[in-house]
Amino acid sequence: MSVLSGKKILLGISGGIAAYKTANLVRLFIKAGAQVQVVMSPASLHFVTPLTLATLSKKPVYSTFYNEEESTGEWNNHVELGLWADLMLIAPATANTLSKMANGNCDNLLIATYLSAKCPVYFAPAMDLDMYKHPSTLDSFHKLKSFGNIIIPAETGELASGLSGEGRMAEPENIIAFLENDVLEKLPLKGKKILVTAGPTYEAIDPVRFIGNHSSGKMGFDIANQAANKGAEVILISGPTHFKIDNPLINLVRVTSAQEMYDACHTYYDKVDVAIAAAAVADYKPKNVAHQKIKKNDATFTIELAKTKDILASLGTIKKNQFLIGFALETENEIEHAKLKIQKKNLDLIVLNSLNDEGAGFGKSTNKVTFIDKNFQIEPMDLKSKEAVALDIINKIIQHYDA
């Protein structure tokens, strides 16, 4: 999954021949999972049609402040457009548009939207060789960079004039790659490795039966996705679940039993900066596992159980510099039990769930948690979606490294 997935992208198109490439650019943004809103300069309408771009983006295309054909009083709000976007890209950015951007010459909707944008702004220049090297263009580059705008350098190749040289707009695939790399490098958890456990474990009774629990694994998978969205490299160790992963920053390691999860955690633990134990690991397993299916003969059947290894405690024992986060699911004396768990297992933070809270627990799309850190600072949270809870947990990690 691209780091652009879910991003709101404002694509500004100015009037150059390279505008024909924007149809493919919009298609690639959509393929990456982004939302795209196109704003065109009046001159760009000569090179590519709004109908093409609206069809590809699945959004109306704007090029004027209001619809000149209808006297309804409705207008295209450039401020609203500028606030909507997570990032703005102006491609192609002609010499004329760059000059207007640099000097605040606001004579069309595209420039008004640019001046209203609160998000990062990227621009991909496109013009002929001599125009690209002209002092006025270089001055525009300098001014825009001083504003914090980011240039996607032009490429060298055949130009519309027939000359060959620098000034050709970067190819759509290269623009996407540039944006992905730039966004990724600026994410707060870039360079961090995070281990996450998820789901239940199944402890075999015989070849067809097991002891398990109702954990779906959703919480752990949401945590892994949120961590990857913030730039972390994630090792997700999951018991049996139906969830899948399509983010290249997440390495999914599937296990079945508590022992397999224990072994996997210890394989990766010394290589990570953070470990989040969100799995519902079985506390007990059958002491003896039958090699053949047990026949239903007697009226009663007894299974002798043995304790499984405590994965979280074992990680706390060998902890060096890792930020270690555990979960606690309690039904009584929740806060005191969670505090004891922090001490016994050498945790930095615990995420407390109470089955007494409506909307929390296994098999639900929501969760209500309380954060307790190693200094016993308590922070109760509202009932939220598990995705939102996962983001809260990841933000705790970001705060730890920003402190």
Angle at 321 between CA 319 and CA 323, to 5 degrees: 80
Distance of alpha carbon 371 from alpha carbon 77, whole angstroms: 41
Q: How many CB atoms lie within 10 A of CB 174?
A: 14
Which residue in this structure is represented by tokens 């961590």?
A: 227
Can the peptide bond before residue 135 be classed as cis, meaning omega within 30 degrees of 0? no
Spacing of C-alpha 66 from chain mean position? 35
- Nearest-CA neighbor of 223 among 389, 352, 359, 370? 389
24 flagged as catalytic: no
Beta bridge partners of 151: 123
Angle at 256 between CA 252 and CA 258, to 5 degrees: 105
Tokens read off for 111: 């420039």
Among 213, 251, 346, 395, the active-site one is: 213
Contact 326, 350 (CB under 8 A): yes
Distance of alpha carbon 123 from alpha carbon 75, whole angstroms: 26
- Residue 278, SS3? coil
Angle at 326 between CA 324 and CA 329, to 5 degrees: 175
Kindly list the catalytic residues. 213
